[in-house]
Amino acid sequence: MNDGAATSLDRLHDIVLPPDVSWWPLAPGGYVLLAMGLLLASALIHRAWRRRQANAYRRAALRELGSIEDAAAMAELLRRTALAIAPRPSIAGKTGAAWLDWLAAHGPEAMPDTVRSLLTDGVYGRTPPREELVALRRYAARWIARHRAPPAAHHSPAC
């Protein structure tokens, strides 16, 4: 063989590939997906904003609860919070056991007996023990944070 002569394999070149396909501009389907994603994101942001606005009364009540030191003021705060979610006629007339039953029915948990007695008797002048006030504050905070609105209430929350 001829050592100095180029063989046919030596004259072969690599395959030239076309340039990579650019991702921009998008195909029509990409624009549709982008628009749907923007609509979904704006709907989720709007929903979160409305939920935050609807729960503003809860945040205000929890802030106020932090500065309250007596049972009567805590009872008043619970009633004002309930008035924010239910029509006034269904709340304003409730007193005594009917009011406590309504609170317990719309709360996240059962009402402890100490809280029940403190809300009926403790708001009338006697100074309750610190443990009872702590129990009432804890119950009030949980009730404000996690209560359920009455099912037939078409009342917009306002503080």
> What per-residue confidence (pLDDT) applies to 159?
45
CB distance 122 to 62 below 8 Å:
no
CA distance 124 to 103: 19
DSSP label at 2?
Answer: -
Give the domain ranges of the chain: 56-146
Residue 78 has pLDDT above 60, yes or no: yes
Q: Which residue has the higher pLDDT, 141 or 12?
A: 141
| pLDDT band of 152, cuts 50, 70, 90 | low
Each residue of 80-102: pLDDT tens digit?
999 999 999 989 889 989 999 99
